[in-house]
Structure 1
């Protein structure tokens, strides 16, 4: 466990309101405190999931461990927890603990999606400004050409905005790979529709550092290393609503910007 998630035992007893740090030191020195059933040494640190007792009395119930799942969503499953949706993702997985999906995949799409009981990490990952990569393999109904790849890469006007520039690679006559860093509603389908193409199949094969490696309809736990990288990547991610808004300059701001860019330089500057 990371040191940042550990607390000195005397400080811990003080923070949970049991006693002062000085009194805690006395109790520890007398061997009256146990961590996970063992008498600790002075100066030891406590993790959030440790069981701390004083004279056998439970001081604080350890926090429940969160679960993090990587699921290969089949076509037809809906990414919602709503019980009135008969094909909802939670009932399909039937995990014995309350979990919810991070983000969405359209009902006709398949592939990787995370599910968790950790609302904090959900908020961080979902914010549009965090630039977390999501990779897809897409098949369309018409032949792909270089112009299609170029236009998809450079941004498409949909939903009153222009999509961010992204990595797009042609894989075959009808199939391409695309890496997005934003999550507009039905983004890839709308981008293709704008160019006169229809998506036939869409499969997400990667989210951030986690690649799809389980059969359709199956799930696995995220590994400790995967979680470590994810937590590191989202450590500074904002959890505010403002962070999810992509700022677009107003017409007045754009006009001012153009004026400033075309404004003649001073005589001194020109003579340099």
Structure 2
């Protein structure tokens, strides 16, 4: 009886198991489960399924093990690369990076944009970084198609209504950098947010580059290249994430 209780207490939800095993984020795991791609001891998993020690978990028929090398990468995404792990997309970010360990992107950077995106197999960390309620900063350099006015800068700072999303963007930091360029720091990640914000004021983005995610900076990383995060970067990143829980 005691042995059974120990096993039950150590059981983890199937989406958390897949995340900790480095297969994907918890959100993606839920999708895979709904698609019938995950089994536990040969039985199709459900969203509430719990995994106990000694049980065999498989994804698309292949065993998923908890032993893994934890990886954190910074990648300078070029234009044209799509932030998906789906092999159906020929320009997917996983093939572009070509890393030997299974990883996946943390959040998205649209196809027409470039700059910093993180990749990891640490599902819990990825989930915390992507949660909008945590107000994580992401910094961008943006060029538009005409001269920038003070009214445009003030409008961008104070929140922009996005009718198609039925929302108003959060107030943010915006600084003019040149006649047609500015720097913006967001704490949310709506789909094509900066482009939509600019369009509201009659501007069109001609270049968009993300240069920072939380404490991780793009720096001099060449376009199309990646690097491992330093131990100091990982430590600070995890400290920030731990403080929010």
Q: TM-score, normalised by structure 2?
A: 0.71
**1:38-74 deviations in Å (ceiling 9; x for gaps):** xxxxxxxxxxxxxxxxxxxxxxx99423100000000
| Residue in 2 that maps onto 1:161 | 167
Task: Indicate the RMSD between aligned Cα atoms, in angstroms.
Answer: 1.6
| Residue in 2 that maps onto 1:170 | 176
Moved over 6 A (4+): none
Q: 1:130 aligns with which of 110, 117, 134?
A: 134
* CA distance, structure 1, for counterparts of residue 170 and residue 66 of structure 2: 43
**SS at 1:171 equivalent:** strand
Unaligned runs of 5+ in 2: 1-5, 8-64
Q: 2:218 aligns with which of 212, 216, 229?
A: 212
**1:45-104 deviations in Å (ceiling 9; x for gaps):** xxxxxxxxxxxxxxxx99423100000000000000010100000001111011000000
**SS at 1:234 equivalent:** helix
When Rg is computed on C-alpha atoms for both structures, the one with the higher figure is 1
- 1:196 and 2:207 are equivalent in the alignment: no
Unaligned runs of 5+ in 1: 1-14, 17-60, 239-272
* CA distance, structure 2, for counterparts of residue 76 and residue 107 of structure 1: 5
**SS at 2:101 equivalent:** coil
Q: TM-score, normalised by structure 1?
A: 0.64
| Residue in 2 that maps onto 1:90 | 94
* CA distance, structure 2, for counterparts of residue 93 and residue 205 of structure 1: 18
How much has 1:142 moved relative to structure 2? 1.2
Aligned residues: 180
* CA distance, structure 2, for counterparts of residue 98 and residue 210 of structure 1: 21
* CA distance, structure 1, for counterparts of residue 187 and residue 216 of structure 2: 15
